[in-house]
Homo-oligomer: A and B are copies of this chain.
Amino acid sequence: MTDRLQERIRRLIDSLATVEVGSVDANGYPNIKRMFNIPTEDYRTYYFSTNVSSMRRAQFAANPKACVYFTKRWDGVQLLGEMDILTDHETKARFWHPGDEKYYPAGLDDPDYCIFRFTARSGRHYHALASQSFDISELAR
């Protein structure tokens, strides 16, 4: 992958307020949900804030295989990897923002608040009609 393409992919990832997250449900069907894109620091690890009671949490607890899809116009990046579910106070505090009480009424230690941590294993870039796989270590910092 060229330096130029690496930068293009990083810019796409950084520019999006929301992304699509894929999971596989108990019946083996792919599922998709739009989630907030929390800025990544290393392009290998991505975090998402969600409810413990959510369908997505139950799906990833049973099957951690996950996809995160970034797309804008005719550019797309698909990352495949594993989703972990974190419930420790330190992680929850790290991603807590004022106003999150609307999602988690009991606040930071609301037992319904958890963090998904996605670790990318491989990547693929789409642009118009062309696509190419890339090694995530080339993108990661």
Please give the residue numbers on chain A whose beta carbons come within 8 Å of chain B beta carbons, in ascending order: 20, 22-25, 27-34, 55, 63, 65-67, 69, 71, 76, 78, 80, 102-103, 126, 129, 131
Contact = CB atoms under 8 A, between A and B. Distances in A.
Chain A contact surface mostly = strand
A11 to B, nearest CB: 18
A12 B65 CA distance: 29
Given A103-B129, A129-B103, A28 B24 contact: yes
Given A23-B30, A31-B78, A32-B67, 11 more contacts: A22-B22, A22-B30, A22-B31, A24-B28, A27-B65, A28-B63, A29-B66, A31-B67, A32-B69, A33-B76, A34-B69
Given A22-B22, A24-B28, A33 B126 contact: yes
8 contacts: A20-B69, A23-B30, A29-B67, A29-B80, A30-B32, A31-B67, A33-B126, A102-B129
Given A22-B22, A29-B67, A34 B80 contact: no
